[in-house]
């Protein structure tokens, strides 16, 4: 899973084309965040035993359909 910075600079004012980092998903557990703030309705949680103790990656989708699509895709990636 690649992630990007804010993406604006003098030479690239619209978006950043170079990833800031990568999160390997092999062996990760991906599940739905059941509860959270109202603005965080369609959350996903990614955990792995090698993450720092108690740490997780939490993502938010814009809709239930998008959440299901991300859950399926990230779940497939975790089995690599």
Q: For the segment 28-59, what is each residue's pLDDT rounded down to a tens digit?
A: 999 998 776 666 788 999 998 888 777 888 88
Nearest C-alpha neighbor of 45 from the set 76, 2, 74, 79: 74
How much is the pLDDT for 30?
92
> Global pTM?
0.73
Q: Could you report how far apart the first and last alpha carbons of the chain are, in Å?
A: 12
> Secondary structure of the chain: what % helix, strand, coil (to 5)?
20, 25, 55
- CA 76 to chain CA centroid, Å, is 14
> CB of 47 within 8 A of CB of 33?
no
């Amino acid at each position: 899973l690649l992630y990007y910075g804010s993406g604006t600079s003098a030479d690239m004012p619209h978006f950043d084309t170079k990833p800031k980092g990568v999160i390997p998903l092999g062996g990760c557990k991906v599940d739905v965040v059941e509860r959270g703030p109202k603005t965080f309705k369609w959350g996903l949680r990614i955990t792995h035993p090698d993450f720092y103790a108690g740490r997780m990656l939490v993502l938010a989708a814009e809709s239930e359909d998008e959440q299901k699509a991300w859950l399926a895709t990230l779940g497939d990636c975790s089995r690599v």
